[in-house]
Amino acid sequence: MEPSYVDAKGILKESIEYRKYQVDLAEIGSKENTMIVLSTGLGKTVIAALVAAARLIQHPDSKVLFLAPSRPLVDQQARYLRRVLDVNPEHVVCMTGHDTPEDRRTMWDEARVFVMTPQALQNDLVQRSYGLQKVSLIVYDEAHRGVGNYAYTFVAELYGKQGANPLSLGLTASPGHEADHIKTVCKNLGLTRVEVRNERSPDVRDYVVSIDTDVRYVRLPSEVEVLKDILYGLLDEYKKPILEHGFSLPNSRRLSRREILRVQKEVRKEIGSYTKPPRGLFLVIRNLTAALRLVHLIEFIGTQGLTPTYRYIQGIYEEVRHKESSKGVKDLISKGEFRQFENLLKALIDKGHRHPKADAILELVSEQLSVDLDSRILVFTRFRDTAIEVVETLEQLSDARVSRFVGQSSRRADKGFSQKKQVEVLEGFRNNEFNVLVATQVGEEGLDIPECNLVVFYDCVPSVVPYIQRRGRTGRKTPGRVVIFVARGTHDEFYHWSVISKLKKMPDALKEAEKDSEEEQTSLEDFVSDDMAGDSYEEKPKPTITPSPSDDTIKMIVDSRELPTAVARELTRLDVEISGESLQIGDYIVSEDVAIERKESGDFIQSLIDGRLFVQLTALRSSYRRPVLIIEGEQLIGLRAVNPASIYGALASIAIRIQIPILWTRNAEETANVLYRLAHLEQVAAKKTLRTRSGDARGTDAEALEYILSGFPGVDTVISRAILSEFGTLEGVFSASEKELQSVKGVGKKIAGRIRRLLTTKYPSYKE
């Protein structure tokens, strides 16, 4: 039968195959702020495109914004939208951190459909590069991320305040298995309706095919059990002092990372309660750090394999060589039992021993390719080291053309895949250049990976979301098959049954969320009410400062690395005008005299350990007349196994020898309020100029020119750039008349007059 296509205004002819459930969901989503929960492969992006087209028709002068968590996903969505929307393809743009702020502002003015990462958008909104007033739709892809401090929550809050004709659409394959979590996501993103569809839904059933799921159990050989026993013995040894100090931990064979982190928190809290903590508590912290690594090693050796475990150990040694590890890790690798474990591991690898999963994957892939040589096979694993071993194992098969598929971040010797490389690999998989892809988490979320005949879970995942995403890579148009490997008596088994339990709870949680959305059909205006406007993603009091319209605008120069932080978001809520720059010295500049270095408590301790702290603060002191150090966090003593005397000594040196005042804040909100007040004192009360100063003469000639010109009263970095852009050289600036200077944007009669007066004023001690 000939396929039928969607016939709708704003959609190109014969570009979207007609599916009634997609059209129905798009109609709902175009009228109300909706969370759409739809299994992977059922066309969430199609629905978003239909809603986008409707909004652009309804509001012809508006813009549409698609947000996705990663750059490859952004690029993929932009390509799809250019293919289906009846919009000039040049007006569908990706905006990323690779584009300059000026280019992004120009693109925003000219284009209509934007696809971005939420982090890039947040940075632009914080700096007021543009606003969301003209945006008629924001699409939140992978909407389940909209919790805590993730950028989605901040974007949604600003959209609720700025949007003239706001509409929000959330898309996810799984928002979670708990009703409260789903409600939190909806509240944070301003979504008032929940629509759930899966393979069993009556309107979807005709469009899906069967997926056969097979759980295959493997047993660890005695050699691997011996390795685990050595680690358990070490774990018991490290636990003794912890238990002797009165802290509780379960049996070593049931000990989890969560339990260790719980006790770490308790110990640090106790350390913080002492002026001079007992030395034994630092031994407990050291042992807990070592125990954390041991539990990870036990999981690795049980679920991943021998070679990946050996690579992980080499990574530990690399940490120690680069002085990035703690005393607990150094103590662990010095133990005779650890060396015994390492030597036995290496000997087994040299003899050709490997995890039974390696043999199982060889057999499974060989069987699939023998049945259908044109098969596409996708193997998922949680760790990169394991992906390397799986690729090497499968390359033994003559019919297997294998590629690894990993994220962009590099980890020392293991270079990540650039966006270009990821696109090339996916294209190769689509064109049958590769028929087996071994992917880490990057393959789970959203990317347009071609439909696979076989999906293999090489290890089990502890979360529902990646489980559903992995499974959704097969069984779209033709019957699919999922095989899950579970190693008996390991974390695999615990994770597998944990996810199965969560999956059973999910339908009830979704039904409850749907029911609540039907009972409480509030408008977006009601949803973002006055009592929620202070912070849409966390129940906490409003900021203690709310600037009135009569206040002078507070400006601040912020280091670009600080823009994604909660502090920058809080400053935006306080209506501070932020300019992001790559600062050599300081994190926040509030005037020509006052610069602030912000240290979260953990970073303060780490910078004290690695020697950065005093270098940074000395440079701050030499460059600004009134430097300030803000330490953020409720506890400093006990965060690391550092002698409190060293911390107290450092604080004393900062206050007395370097002569920098120290201010303490509990969280990002308090930090933002302190920064606001410092800026208010300098800019409003003292009428001081905002500009950066640097004690380091190194840099480009352009930076030197900006530095010299910004020494004039009233001339900040932005104005100095504008003047230099107009006149080209300092000679040209200094030769210009007062009237010529006033032709530059931002330079009024007052500033121009000051520049001319100072250029002709004689120095008092000058002798003719």
Task: Summarize pLDDT for 21-47 with one digit per residue, the tens.
Answer: 999 999 999 999 999 998 877 889 999
The segment with the largest mean pLDDT, out of 68-77, 220-229, 519-528, 698-707, is 220-229
Task: Summarize pLDDT for 618-666 with one digit per residue, the tens.
Answer: 999 988 989 999 999 988 887 777 778 889 999 999 999 999 999 999 9
Tell me the DSSP string of 84-138: HBSS-GGGEEEE-TTS-HHHHHHHHHH-SEEEE-HHHHHHHHHTTSS-STTEEEE
Q: What's the mean pLDDT when you consider all of the chain?
A: 86
Mean pLDDT within 434-438: 93
Return the pLDDT at 362.
94
Residue in this structure with the two tokens 């670009």, named with its chain if needed: 560
The residues, any chain, with a CB within 8 Å of residue 266's CB and separated by 6 or more, are 247
Tell me, yes or no, if the two domains 20-207 and 211-219+355-488 fold the same way: yes
pLDDT over threshold 60, residue 541: no
Mean pLDDT within 552-562: 91
Helices (H) and strands (E) counted in the chain, each on its own, are 29, 19
What single letter denotes the amino acid at residue 323? K
Mean pLDDT within 177-203: 87
Topology at the third CATH level for domain 20-207: Rossmann fold (3.40.50)
Mean pLDDT within 162-172: 94
For residue 650, the tally of other CB atoms under 10 A from its CB is 19
CATH classification of 701-760 is 1.10.150.20, yes or no? yes
Q: Which one has a higher pLDDT value, 195 or 530?
A: 195
Return the pLDDT at 523.
39
Domain ranges of the chain: 20-207, 211-219+355-488, 222-350, 555-685, 701-760
* Model confidence band, residue 518 (pLDDT cutoffs 50, 70, 90): low
Query: Which candidate, 514, 460, 506, places its Cα nearest to that of 487?
Result: 460
Task: Summarize pLDDT for 458-502 with one digit per residue, the tens.
Answer: 999 888 888 888 887 776 677 789 999 999 999 999 999 988 888
Return the pLDDT at 41.
76
The segment with the largest mean pLDDT, out of 83-87, 406-410, 645-649, is 83-87
Return the pLDDT at 446.
56
Return the pLDDT at 448.
65
* Three-state DSSP state, 728: coil
d(CA 378, CA 448): 13
* Model confidence band, residue 1 (pLDDT cutoffs 50, 70, 90): low
* Model confidence band, residue 534 (pLDDT cutoffs 50, 70, 90): very low
Q: Find how far residue 381's CA is from the centre of its chain.
A: 20
pLDDT over threshold 60, residue 528: no
Q: What is the pTM of this model?
A: 0.76
Return the pLDDT at 522.
39
Mean pLDDT within 150-164: 94
Topology at the third CATH level for domain 222-350: phosphoenolpyruvate carboxylase, domain 3 (1.20.1320)
Return the pLDDT at 680.
94
The residues, any chain, with a CB within 8 Å of residue 477's CB and separated by 6 or more, are 209, 451
Topology at the third CATH level for domain 555-685: Rossmann fold (3.40.50)
Q: What is the β-pairing status of strands 168-172 and 135-141? A: parallel
Return the pLDDT at 527.
35
Determine contact, residues 170/186, Cβ cutoff 8 Å. Answer: yes
Return the pLDDT at 64.
97
CATH architecture of 211-219+355-488: 3-Layer(aba) Sandwich (3.40)
Tell me the DSSP string of 628-685: EEEEESS--TTSSS--HHHHHHHHHIIIIIS---EEEESSHHHHHHHHHHHHHIIIII
Return the pLDDT at 339.
94
